[in-house]
Chains A and B, each alone.
Chain A
């Protein structure tokens, strides 16, 4: 019987350096169908949020020219002694834009936190 120890064999895997195949992160890295679903859902939720803000902007600020054009009373109205169009375009619009921006950042960060919880640091 041969007393020599058996020759050492290095056991390797083709997935060297990759984490466990079950983690979401590795699904995304490998661009599997499951990984794609996670990526697409992140993109979809962020895009929907962005489009919501853009739509709100279009339906409020974006409608002002039409409103002014169609309604002479609005065009000529005054509030606190200031013509309404000047008050809206010169002042009110700015806090409104800032509020929309603030809303967006909070929601976008919440979406990302949800994604982080799912995919997680590994």
Chain B
């Protein structure tokens, strides 16, 4: 395979990402520029940026791979990743923006007025961020290997380097522009080749027995299908609100109203995008079913143009898909490194360095540690690995946000207990699965999709712990509730909590 096109495409995406980042460098100077771009971002741009950041390797490559291998039940992945924004919208979007917290630890500290709660939340942000980053780096390795035959570690290193340079030099302002650009790049990169492939399939009229296999085309197949499906639904529907890189974006909305409207726009953009990956999975079932046996289903999106069309048309389209895939890794990784770096910088290094330096060091360390982990870990399907990060978010920050916003009874001790128990249980299951443990029977199903067990336990612990410490309600609870729920244009006493490093209201 002539891989010149592919190399040019990947280089172009990386360089454009760096160039736009460098352009942003000229306008980002203070700490708050780095963290949240000073909130001078319009809803339309913000929605593109959130979508660009959210659509990761799992969406671009992973969904098609899972659909190719396992069929109808896998359609719940993109559905859940979209529906997660509906749950986020109705329960969390406006109050979270109004809290003026720009990280999840900020929210924890603000709501239950406890520094230990903040520290636990910080540790969980780092954990979720790393769990989410590993499959991105893994996807990059896979893409570069598929396109050029380069060893798997090389792609991971390329992505890590670009993200590092960009985050360390440019900060969030540049990243907002980059992310917005990358949503549209990903959409075009997936739509354009698909049109050619579908036309080809229509002319060809090919069909295979695999396409009509009952255990592929019909939902609810396999052992424990009911449990696995509902666990997946719970993890994705509830996990979205607890992802560190998503929450940071809400701070960049002008007010609670804008946060809601941005969320609706995101939901629309994701809906358009997620129509595409399952079609690649179906095409893969027809033309590249050998990937199932060789265990390389995650590369189906990249393989299809070469197999169907061949020639330079195939190479050009493959290059376009490679560019889109790299856009996916770069945007999600940048967002995650920024938010994880922000948290580490603030909570761990802030004592010794000034804000900007701490942020840069933390971002660099975060990216490098994850790179190390990626090289050590072994391959789970990319989409499944990402979904496991959602399971941890759903078992920790989802109860914190839902109870914190809607229930006055939440106390610091209850919150900490829930975060520790939910995080501990879900993270243990996820790490065991990532390291390759897959015991038979019910226990195996629970390890593979822990959310349906761990989410209720986390809620129960948080509520139970709060009821046991009923006498210790936060001192400024009244003002906190006013701040979370009243529209900004009403002048009210909203307390004076102000996250460190934030500039302006």
Interface residues, chain A, with chain B CB atoms under 8 Å away:
25, 28-29, 31, 36, 39, 42-43, 46-47, 49-50, 53-54, 57, 61-62, 65-66, 68-69, 75-76, 83, 85-86, 89-91, 93-95, 97-98, 100-102, 104-105, 108-109, 112, 115-116, 119-122
- B275 A94 Cβ-Cβ under 8 A: yes
Could you mark each residue 273-304 of chain B with 1 if its beta carbon is under 8 Å from any beta carbon of chain A, else 0?
Answer: 01100100000000000000000000000000
B74-82, B101-109, B111-119, B441-449 - the one binding chain A:
B74-82
Residue of A nearest to B94 (CB): A108
- B82 A97 Cβ-Cβ under 8 A: yes
**Complex: how many Å from CA A93 to CA B81?**
12
Q: Is B500 an interface residue (CB 8 A)?
A: no
Number of chain B residues close to chain A: CB under 8 A = 46
Contacts A39-B482, A65-B219 given; indicate if A121 touches B257 (C-beta within 8 A).
no
- A28 B275 Cβ-Cβ under 8 A: no
Contacts A69-B220, A90-B278 given; indicate if A50 touches B79 (C-beta within 8 A).
no
**Complex: how many Å from CA A120 to CA B486?**
11
Contacts A65-B229, A90-B75, A94-B271 given; indicate if A53 touches B86 (C-beta within 8 A).
yes
Neighbour of B485 across the interface among A39, A85, A101, CB < 8 A: A39
Chain A residue numbers with a CB within 8 Å of B278 are 86, 90
Chain B binding surface SS class = helix
Q: Is B40 an interface residue (CB 8 A)?
A: no
Could you mark each residue 63-102 of chain B with 1 if its beta carbon is under 8 Å from any beta carbon of chain A, else 0?
Answer: 0000000001001100100110111011100100000000
Chain A residue numbers with a CB within 8 Å of B400 are none
**Complex: how many Å from CA A116 to CA B233?**
37
**Complex: how many Å from CA A25 to CA B267?**
35
Sample (27) of A-B pairs whose CB atoms are under 8 Å apart:
A36-B478, A39-B481, A50-B91, A54-B87, A62-B233, A65-B219, A65-B233, A69-B226, A83-B217, A86-B75, A89-B219, A93-B82, A93-B83, A94-B275, A97-B83, A97-B267, A101-B85, A101-B264, A104-B90, A105-B260, A105-B264, A108-B94, A115-B487, A116-B487, A116-B489, A119-B486, A121-B489
- B218 A76 Cβ-Cβ under 8 A: yes
Chain B residue numbers with a CB within 8 Å of A102 are 264
- A43 B490 Cβ-Cβ under 8 A: no
**Complex: how many Å from CA A115 to CA B482?**
12
- B89 A104 Cβ-Cβ under 8 A: yes
Chain A residue numbers with a CB within 8 Å of B485 are 39, 42-43, 46
Minimum Cβ distance to chain A for residue B76 (Å)? 7
Chain A residue numbers with a CB within 8 Å of B489 are 116, 121
**Complex: how many Å from CA A91 to CA B75?**
10
| Besides the known contacts A86-B217, A89-B75, 5 further A-B residue pairs in the complex with CB atoms under 8 A apart | A25-B490, A29-B492, A54-B91, A121-B489, A122-B491
- A75 B219 Cβ-Cβ under 8 A: yes
Contacts A89-B76, A98-B267 given; indicate if A65 touches B83 (C-beta within 8 A).
no
**Complex: how many Å from CA A29 to CA B272?**
45
Chain A residue numbers with a CB within 8 Å of B406 are 43, 47
Interface residues, chain B, with chain A CB atoms under 8 Å away:
72, 75-76, 79, 82-83, 85-87, 89-91, 94, 217-220, 225-226, 229-230, 233, 257, 260-261, 263-264, 267-268, 271-272, 274-275, 278, 406, 478, 481-482, 485-487, 489-493
A-B pair count, CB < 8 Å, reads 129
Chain B residue numbers with a CB within 8 Å of A76 are 218
Minimum Cβ distance to chain B for residue A46 (Å)? 7
The 9 closest A-B pairs by CB, nearest first: A94-B271, A89-B75, A50-B90, A29-B493, A31-B478, A68-B219, A85-B219, A65-B229, A112-B487
**Complex: how many Å from CA A68 to CA B382?**
26
Among A31, A50, A65, max chain B CB count under 10 A is at: A65
- A115 B274 Cβ-Cβ under 8 A: no
**Complex: how many Å from CA A94 to CA B269?**
10
Residue of B nearest to A78 (CB): B217
- B89 A105 Cβ-Cβ under 8 A: yes
- A119 B274 Cβ-Cβ under 8 A: no
**Complex: how many Å from CA A68 to CA B263?**
30
Chain A residue numbers with a CB within 8 Å of B275 are 90-91, 94
- A75 B218 Cβ-Cβ under 8 A: yes
Residue of A nearest to B277 (CB): A90
Minimum Cβ distance to chain A for residue B215 (Å)? 12
Minimum Cβ distance to chain B for residue A118 (Å)? 9
Chain B residue numbers with a CB within 8 Å of A39 are 478, 481-482, 485-486
- B220 A68 Cβ-Cβ under 8 A: yes
Chain B residue numbers with a CB within 8 Å of A75 are 218-220
**Complex: how many Å from CA A83 to CA B478?**
53
Chain B residue numbers with a CB within 8 Å of A28 are 482, 486, 492-493
Minimum Cβ distance to chain B for residue A90 (Å)? 5
- A105 B261 Cβ-Cβ under 8 A: yes
- B264 A65 Cβ-Cβ under 8 A: no
**Complex: how many Å from CA A69 to CA B219?**
8
- B486 A115 Cβ-Cβ under 8 A: yes
